[in-house]
């Protein structure tokens, strides 16, 4: 396993890990449902919530996703209901890698999202419709699980001064770990690489995020 840009205790910004085994995660995308909140139809998503204690993953109640408009100008203010990830055990190694890196304890809720972006010869797949943004969380991970017949999808990180501090097309088996309080993130659109193949292109990523208390839940959900 290769480590690039390791996080230092005094400056936790970002870390890239490569050569990871993404095979256990493939099953999360076998029957992934279309995202009803993207009318163009290029995104598919399911999610689950959990907490971790002593390397044991405890699934939490399945609740909608919610972000304020100042965080998400595209879907902010909407209570978004997505199907639950059935087999969270498939993501166990990735979740524990995330929690161990950031020293996350049981007081942090963890949001796990399986997300597929598709593109066709006529239409690109917009991986980050919000543009550069933060998720109003503590920590974030983007794990590239699989991709096929695409160009694009360059992930970039920007600091508070507007400087690009990281840019790379993530390959399957690579995970980017980010301190959301220090950096904004963005990934460029995808387009079909080989139109002559007459098939769509896609990119599968596992997105893991955490915050003290709850992650991107509506006030009504967290007050229950």
11-48 tens-digit pLDDT: 458 999 999 999 999 999 999 999 999 999 999 999 99
Quick check: 2 pLDDT over 60? no
Q: Answer yes or no: is 222 within a domain.
A: no
Q: Answer yes or no: is 223 within a domain.
A: no
Q: Answer yes or no: is 200 within a domain.
A: yes
Range of the domain at 164: 3-213
d(CA 111, CA 101): 16
CATH number at residue 51: 2.60.120.620
Quick check: 5 pLDDT over 60? no
* 58: Cα separation from own chain's centroid: 20
**Could you tell me which residues are beta bridge partners of residue 208?**
112, 141
d(CA 140, CA 159): 15
Q: Answer yes or no: is 220 within a domain.
A: no
Q: Answer yes or no: is 141 within a domain.
A: yes
Task: Lowest mean pLDDT of 73-77, 151-155, 207-211, name the range.
Answer: 73-77
Q: Answer yes or no: is 129 within a domain.
A: yes
Quick check: 67 pLDDT over 90? no
Q: What is the 3-class SS of 143-188, one letter each residue?
A: EEEEEECEEECEEEEECCCCCEEEEEECCCCEEEEEECCCCEEEEC
Quick check: 140 pLDDT over 90? yes
Quick check: 95 pLDDT over 70? yes
Q: Answer yes or no: is 224 within a domain.
A: no
**Predicted TM-score (pTM) of this structure:** 0.90
Mean pLDDT to the nearest integer, 188-201 = 91
Please count the structural domains in the chain. 1
Q: Answer yes or no: is 219 within a domain.
A: no
Give me the pLDDT at residue 221, please: 61
Of the chain, the end-to-end C-alpha distance in Å amounts to 42
Mean pLDDT to the nearest integer, 1-7 = 41
Q: What is the mean pLDDT of the chain?
A: 89
d(CA 162, CA 43): 28
Give me the pLDDT at residue 107, please: 97
Task: Give the contacts of 101 (CB within 8 A, at least 6 positions apart).
Answer: 7, 15, 177
């Amino acid at each position: 396993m290769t480590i690039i840009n390791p996080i230092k205790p005094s400056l936790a910004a970002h870390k890239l890990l490569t050569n990871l085994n993404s095979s256990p995660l493939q099953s999360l995308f076998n029957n992934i449902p279309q995202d009803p909140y993207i009318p163009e139809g290029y995104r598919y998503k399911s999610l689950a919530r959990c907490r971790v204690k002593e390397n044991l993953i405890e699934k939490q109640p399945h609740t909608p996703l919610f972000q304020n408009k100042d965080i998400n100008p595209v879907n902010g203010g909407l209570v978004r209901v997505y199907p639950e990830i059935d087999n969270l055990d498939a993501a166990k190694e990735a979740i524990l890698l995330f929690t161990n890196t950031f020293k996350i304890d049981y007081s942090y809720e963890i949001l796990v999202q399986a997300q597929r972006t598709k593109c066709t010869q006529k239409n690109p797949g917009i991986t980050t419709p919000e543009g550069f943004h933060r998720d109003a969380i503590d920590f974030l991970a983007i794990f590239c699980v699989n991709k096929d017949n695409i160009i694009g999808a360059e992930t970039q990180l920007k600091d508070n001064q507007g400087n690009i501090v990281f840019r790379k097309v993530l390959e399957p088996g690579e995970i980017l770990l980010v301190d959301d309080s220090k950096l904004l993130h963005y990934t460029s659109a995808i387009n079909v690489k080989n139109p002559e193949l007459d098939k769509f292109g896609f990119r599968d990523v596992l997105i893991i995020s955490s915050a003290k208390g709850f992650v991107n839940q509506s006030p009504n959900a967290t007050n229950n």
